[in-house]
Structures are given as structure tokens and as C-alpha cells.
Amino acid sequence: MRSDPLELRHNILNRLPVIDNFYSLFDPILGYPVSTDGKHILLTLRFKHSLHDVNAAERLMKTLHRTLLRYNSSDVHILIVGGLCHSAANTRVIKHDVAQIAVISVFGFVLIYALFVPSIAAIWLLLVPCYAVSTALGIMSITCASLSGLALGFGASVLGIAEDYAVHMHFALGNGDANRILPVIIPSLLHGFLVNVSGFVILLFSGIPAIRQLAYFSILTLTIGFLLAIVILPVCPFFASSSRKHADINEQQRLPIYGITVSCVISLLIICTVLFHLIHVDVSPQTIGAEALKLHQDAEFLRKIWGIDEDNILIVKGQNRDAALATARQIVATLKKLDPNNKVKTLTALLPSVEELQANLTRWHAFTQKYGEHLVQTLNKTGEYYGFSSTAFEPFLQILKSPVPSFDSDVLRSAGLGMILDTYLHEDEKDGAVRILLRTDRIVDISQFDQQIASCIIALSPSDLEKILLKQFTSEKYLVPAAWVICVLLLFLWFRNIPQALLAALPPLCSLCCILTWFVVSGHSLTIAGIAAMPLVLGLSADHGILVTHELAKGVKTGVSRAVLVSSLTTLTSMGLLVLAQHPALHAMGEVIFWGLLVESPAALLLLPKLTAPMKRT
């Protein structure tokens, strides 16, 4: 390589577009980008796993640190940056938070059950969330390519919501005979389950993979917990028994007072709308990651050494690879004519056209016929001089004697250029379309191209990319209103009674009002993670509002009051404790859940009965 008799460095390495990404020198011996002061070397690692694969990222970072410790010294500083550091940092902080919160949550569960469920049924109530969460994690590990740290951290604290339906079933069966209670409580639980799940279904439309995975995890956990509660628990030994005397299950039916209920709903809607416009919503990606400040400082250090890459991007789409490459070549040729100083980085230099391939083959055959024997002698002498074996150049020499194989992307991958190929060429598995990436130093005006070619181009400047990312994150804040609208629609579809639907909608409105009031008073920003936690609060509070409304309307005691209290306390003990987390995303979620659950139980148990009146008997 030092002798380089074939001048590979000059003819091949200098043509690689990746080299132009650095404002630096290219060392002729090491082959690594070296800074202009000669004190910094940049190494690039290609990671075969997804950046969202937290376990793989953590393993890789540990391996890198162990390896680098051998070479670290006082005069050598090694800095590792990139998305993998972000994933590994998230994993480390989330594991610490989960371990801390899990211990407190288990202690809280035991204390709550000791006070409110003094029977052997508490064992079943503890087993339900454990089974639901573990089963949901097992399904996710099979169906998802990688598990997000945010979803795992949230999932570890979802025990409180997983046992919600089991708690309601326990107190309902303790209030009467199962044959009389089950037909009453199961429809109410099903209604609450559908409304609760609807909030997380909305999150499945999020543009952030971690939030979509969080929603998927929550839906699985709720579904498994619900099925266990209505199918398995009623036939479990000791579960349906209670040391308490069965209460009189017949009471006078109560219906909402229409005028007061409507006034309360409208007032809360107005207050929530005003508060939502007063709070500051921070949709920056830094709010969902750990050690964001350190990562930002490291990135600034790299920019200082290597310069700032402000390339503009052109995306060229074609029905197949040849069509996309042909269009890209026309664009490159046009750009060279319009602005010779505008450097273009793309694959067209590495993947020549059919005509260029034929011309290259013609020149190659002419070269081998004229200089083939001399080249063989030169290689053998050079190899013998440097101590190579006699067969060291045999693969290359075979090309002189046999037809040249076709040149395609597989050849580039065999040569170790797969990373460049994947960066600049993307083949869509769904529609079979191929997209070629072109990077230019200056902004390109698409109107300068032929209309047919311009229709195949998407031009993006650095500011455009930033706006697209910001727009995507900004759209996340509309998930909360969408979740509440879906929740209300399901209430109306199920009750088919406007007063009852509005009555059941009051607890989630009270929770939302309390959350927004806290953020306005404290001056804290509502982040993407906090927005993702709101559907959980809305769903759980709507769940409790539905059960209380059903009990009041039917006049059948099903132990809802005690069940709502225990369910709220266990959820607050598990998920509300996320407010103690160091990870910014988990802390933001805990903040929303804590303040939301703080008022939903009093609203369901105290406010709703006050807004009803006994039904007049006819």
C-alpha cells in the first residue's frame, strides 16, 4: 500500500464522494481523514444494528470503551460521538431510574393492598400486572426489530394500569354473587377498556418510532390485563371470596342533571383551551434524550475541528436503478454547465452508465493486449521485493486472462464500499422505486432543469431539513386533542345519551385542566414525552368516569368507589413516581401522570354523584 504500484489511492480513493464531506486532508498512508493541524484523526464505524436497539448500542459502547482504555494516555484524547452514544446514555439512565422506581412501586403496592385488599386475592392482583407486562414485552421482542429505551422505561412503570381491571373485578365480586354481578360489571369494563385503548391507538400515528412503540406496548398490556380480569380471575380460587359482607346491590338509579353537567363541561373546555395556549410546548428532540447537553458539546467540538457540513440535498426518484442513475447523470451534467464551482457528491462517478462501461471495457482490453505481460512482470517483481507470496496477485492476474465480470453494486459491496452505497442509494421494497441522493455545496434551483427531470427531483437545504423535523415534532402536540375527541366520541356511541356521556367525560377534563394549570403556574414546558403520557391519563380517568356513571345509572353497587380509589393509588404509586426519574422524557411523563391522576379520582367519586339526581319513578 505504501508503494502503491497501481496508483490506487490516486485513481480510486480520491473519487469516493465521502472524502469530500470533511474539511481536512486525506492521509496518503493511513487512509483516514486527518485535520489540517495534523492532531486529529477521524474514524467512522458502521453499525449494523438500528440506533433504536438500546441493548446492542450499550454492548458496543462498552466494547469501545474497554478497547480504548488500552490506548488512552495523557497526550491522547479519544472522543466518541453519534447516535449510538445517545442510545447507550438513554439505556444507562433509564435502567437506573427503573431500578429505583420499581423498588418504591412494589413497596407502595404491598402497602395499598394491605390497607384495601386484606385477603389472599391480593396475590392474584399482583400477578396480573406482572404477567401482562412480561407477556407484552415478549410479544414486542418477537414483533419488533429493536426495543426503544423510552418504551422499556415507560413499560416498567405500567404495572399500575395493568391491574386496573383486575381491581374492579375484585371489588365487584365482593359485592354480590358472581352470576348477578358479572353481567353488570363486564359491559362497563369493556366500555372503559375501549375508551382507554383509543388514546393509545392515536399515538400509533405519531411520527416518532419510540412513541409508536410506547403506544403498542400500552395497548398490549391493557388488552392482556383486561382479558385476564374478565376471563381468568373470576374462576381463580379465593379471588371471588371476600371477608366483607355483601352489600345491598340495589340502589335508586341516578341520572345527570343536564344543565349543570353541560355547564361544567363547557367551562372546563374553555379553561383547558385557554391554558393550552398559555403553556410553552417544547418539541425539540433534545427533550426525549439523556445527556443532551454533553452530546451537543461533543458535536460542537467536532464542528470546530472538521468544519460544518452545510450540503444541500437533491433526491432523485426513478422506477428502477438504471432510470434513477440516468436522471442523476443528466442532473450532474447540467449542474456542471450552470455552475462549475458547485461540487456534486453522488454515486454517478462510481456506477458508470452502460455506454461508459462498454468504453471502459474496450480500453481495458486494449491495455491488457499492449501492456499485460509487462504489468505481470512488474507485479511479480514488486511482490517479491516486498515479500509477498507468489500467488498474492493471482486474483487480479486472472482478470487479464478472462472476461471482465459485470460491474454493479455487489462489486462495490465486495470492495468494502457498502456504506457509501447505502448512503447515496435507496431501494424501496414496497413500490420498487429507487432514490439517488445528490449533495451539492450550493442551493440548486429546480426550475433551471427540464420539466420532466424537475418532476423527479426533491431539493432540500439544511434549513428545509430543520423545518421538516420541527414540523414533524410540532404535529405531535395535536395528538392530545385528537385522543380526547376520540374518547368523547366513544362515550357518545356507547351511552347514546348526551348527559351521561358528558358526565363520564368530566374526570378526564378535570385531569387535563389540572395538568395544564400546573405547567402554567410552574412555568415548565410541556414536552413530547409529556404529550405522549396524556392519553394514558385521559384514558384512565375516562375509564373511571364510565364505571361511576354506569353504577349511578343502573343503581347496582359493584364496588366501583373502592376500586377507583385503589386503582388510582396503584397507578399513582407506579407511573406517577416517574416524576422522580432523571431521564428527561420519563420525568416529563411522570409529571403529567402525577398531576393528572391527582384530581381524577376525587372528580369521579365526589363530583359525579353531586351532578346527578334520583330518577323519578313513573
In one letter, which amino acid is 547? Answer: L
Residue 328 resides in a domain: yes
The string of pLDDT tens digits covering residues 315-359 is 888 888 888 888 888 888 888 888 887 777 777 777 777 787 888
Same-domain check for residues 233 and 381: no
Same domain, 550 and 569: yes
Is the residue at 73 inside a domain?
yes
> Which of 468, 491, 511 is a domain's end point?
468
Q: How many Cα neighbours within 13 Å face the side chain of 203?
A: 29
Note whether residue 224 is domain-resident.
yes
Q: Are residues 405 and 479 in the same domain?
A: no
Look up residue 135 and give its amino acid. Answer: T
Question: Does residue 199 share a domain with residue 102?
Answer: yes
The answer on 224 and 124 residing in a single domain is yes
Same domain, 141 and 206: yes
According to DSSP, residue 408 is labeled S
Residue whose grid cell is 440548486: 444
d(CA 546, CA 505): 8
Same domain, 423 and 563: no
Give one DSSP letter per residue of 160-178, joined into a string: HHHTHHHHHHHHHHTTS-H
Q: What is the pairing mode between strands 526-527 and 281-282? A: parallel
* Same domain (yes/no): 44, 80: yes
Residues 245, 331 within the same domain: no
Other C-beta atoms lying within 10 Å of the C-beta of residue 354: 10
DSSP letter at 245?
Answer: P
**Final residue of a domain: which of 237, 271, 306?**
306
**Which domain covers residue 134, as residue numbers?**
85-291+472-614
* 565 within a domain of the structure (yes/no): yes
Residue 1 lies in a domain: no
Radius of gyration of the chain, Cα coordinates, nearest whole angstrom: 32
Q: Which residues of the chain have pLDDT under 70?
A: 1-33, 36, 44-54, 71-73, 146, 149-150, 152-160, 175-178, 238-251, 283-286, 288, 290, 292, 306-311, 404-407, 414-419, 429-430, 461-477, 617-618
Place of cell 380517568: 541
Q: Tens of pLDDT along 368-409?
A: 888 888 888 888 888 888 888 878 888 777 777 777 666 677
Mean pLDDT of the chain: 77
pLDDT for the residue numbered 16? 45
Among residues 439, 468, 497, which one ends one of the domains?
468
Q: Which of 466, 508, 573 is nearest to 113 (CA)?
A: 573
Round to whole Å and give the CA distance between 169 and 181: 9
Q: Is 53 among the domain residues?
A: yes
Residue with cell 414483533: 143
* Bridge partners, 527 (sequence order): 282
Report the C-alpha gap between 594 and 109 in whole angstroms: 16
Q: Does the residue 71 lie in any domain?
A: yes
**515 and 546 part of one domain:** yes
Which helix (H) or strand (E) covers residue 425, if one does? Answer: strand 425-427
Q: What angle do CA 103, 87, 89 make, to 5 degrees?
A: 55
Q: What is the pTM of this model?
A: 0.68
Domain shared by 483 and 547, yes or no:
yes
For residue range 240-255, list pLDDT tens digits in order: 554 444 444 556 788 8
**Cβ proximity of 503 and 608 under 8 Å:** yes
Does 518 lie in the same domain as 422? no
Any domain includes 3: no
Give the residue from 499, 491, 520, 500 showing the smallest Cα distance to 273: 520
pLDDT at 19: 37
Secondary structure of the chain: what % helix, strand, coil (to 5)?
Answer: 65, 5, 25
Structurally, the chain folds into a number of domains equal to: 3
Q: What is the DSSP letter of 207?
A: S
Given this model, what pLDDT does residue 270 score? 92
